[in-house]
Amino acid sequence: MSHSIPETRLTYAGSGLDRLSEQRGDIALIESLRTDARNFVLAGESFLLAKRGAGFDAGLTNEEAAVAGDTLETALLGKDPRGRGHFARAIPPSRIDAIKAHEGFIVVDLRSIALQGLVPPEDLSALATAKALLFWHERHRFCANCGKPTKPAQAGWRRDCGSCSAQHFPRTDPCVIMLAIHGEQCLLARQTRFPPGMWSALAGFVEPGESFEEAVRRETMEEAGIPAGRVSYFASQPWPFPMSIMIGAFVEAKSDKLKIDEVELEAARWVTKDECRLLLMNKHPARFFAPPPLAIAHHLIKTFVERGEGVFG
C-alpha cells in the first residue's frame, strides 16, 4: 500500500497527551496527577462542559467534577505538556437533569461538540478516548472467561477477574472505509440509516483472519458487486461510536457495473469530480451532500477530487 497521509488532522485524533502507558501501575504517580487534573465527564452518551466566559471547557477542574458527583468508573487519559493529568470519568446518566439545572455546565453529545466546534481539537481527541474507553468498561463488568465480576486495574486500562485471574484489555474495532475509483468517477452510496441526502464511501468491519486490504476488497464486492484492484492506504481515524477505528483507503474498481446489496445499501452510484465538489460544498442542486469534515469520508472524497487516480501513487 502506498501512503498519502492528509495534511488535515482528522477529528478525534491528536490529543497531544503522553498516555503514560508504561506507568499506569504507578499508583503514587497516578494520585499525584489527580491533584490538578482536567476531568472529562461522561453521562450516558453526553459530556459535561464547564462554561468559561463565552466558551466552554471539556476539562473540568476537580471542584467542578465534584459537583457532578461520584463516578462509576475513572481512567487516566494521560498527561499534557504542562504536566496536568487528564482523566475520564463516567457518572450515572440519571444525574443529567440535575446537572442541566446547574448554571455552570452544559451537557452535550460528542458529535455535537465536534460539529459545533465547542472545544479545541486536542480536547476532542481526549473526549473520544474517554468515550470509547468508558463504553468498554461499562460492557466488561463481568469476565468473558468465567462470568464473575471484574474490577479495573492499570489506571483504567485493564480489567482483572478476581475469580479466574483473567486480564481483559480495552479494544477498538477496525472498520475499513473505502472510496472505490473508476477512471474519473468515484462510488458513493447511501445506507438507510444515513440522514436524508447524505452520500458517502462504502464501509464495513474487518473480520478475524483478514487483512485491511482483504476487507476493503471483500466489502467492495459484497456491497457493490465491484471486483477490486489496487488498494491504497489513506489515513485512519478514531471513531468512538462506540469504539471503532476507521481505516481509510482508496480502491481501484475493475468494473463500473454495480450490483448493490440492498440489505446494506439504499443506493449507490458513480459520481464525477465536479459533482463531488458540489457535495463537499453543500451546493448540490438536489440538496445531496457529503459527510462533514469531521468524518474521514469527507477527506477521502476531497482527496480524490484533488488528485484523481494519483491517489494510487
As measured in angstroms, the least distance from the Cβ of 167 to Zn ion is 10
Task: Tell me the site size for Zn ion, rule CB under 5 A.
Answer: 7
The stretch among 158-166, 207-215, 248-256, 271-279 that binds Zn ion (CB under 5 A) is 158-166
Neighbouring C-alpha atoms within 13 Å toward the C-beta of 48: 33
Q: Which three cell numbers stand for residue 11?
A: 477529528
Compute the distance between CA of residue 228 and CA of residue 220 in angstroms, rounded to an integer.
7
Sort strands 173-182 and 185-190 into parallel, antiparallel or unpaired.
antiparallel
Residue among 166, 260, 278, 305 that touches Zn ion (CB under 5 A): 166
The nearest distance, CB 141 to Zn ion, in angstroms, is: 12
Task: Give the whole-angstrom CA distance, residue 205 versus residue 1.
Answer: 19
Q: Site residues for Zn ion, window 127-156 (CB under 5 A)?
A: 143, 145-146
In whole angstroms, the minimum distance from the beta carbon of 147 to Zn ion comes to 7
Q: Which is nearer to Zn ion, 136 or 239 (CB)?
A: 136
Binding of Zn ion at residue 271 (CB under 5 A)? no
In the three-class reduction of DSSP (H, G, I as helix; E, B as strand; rest coil), residue 135 is classed as helix
CB of 25 to Zn ion, least distance (A): 20
Distance CA 87, CA 107 (A): 18
Residue closer to Zn ion, measured from CB, 162 or 310: 162
Per-residue DSSP letter, 290: P
The amino acid that residue 136 corresponds to is W
Q: Give the three-state DSSP class for 180.
A: strand
The stretch among 18-26, 40-48, 159-167, 239-247 that binds Zn ion (CB under 5 A) is 159-167
Crossing angle of helices 273-280 and 296-307, in 10° steps, is 140
**Site residues for Zn ion, window 180-209 (CB under 5 A)?**
none
**100 or 141, CB closer to Zn ion?**
141
Residue 172 touching Zn ion (CB under 5 A): no
List beta partners, residue 177.
203, 248
Q: Which of 37, 75, 161, 201 binds Zn ion (CB under 5 A)?
A: 161
Peptide bond into 242 cis (omega under 30): yes
Indicate whether 164 belongs to the interface with Zn ion (CB under 5 A): yes
- Minimum CB separation from Zn ion for residue 127, in Å? 31
List residues near Zn ion by CB under 5 A. Answer: 143, 145-146, 161, 163-164, 166
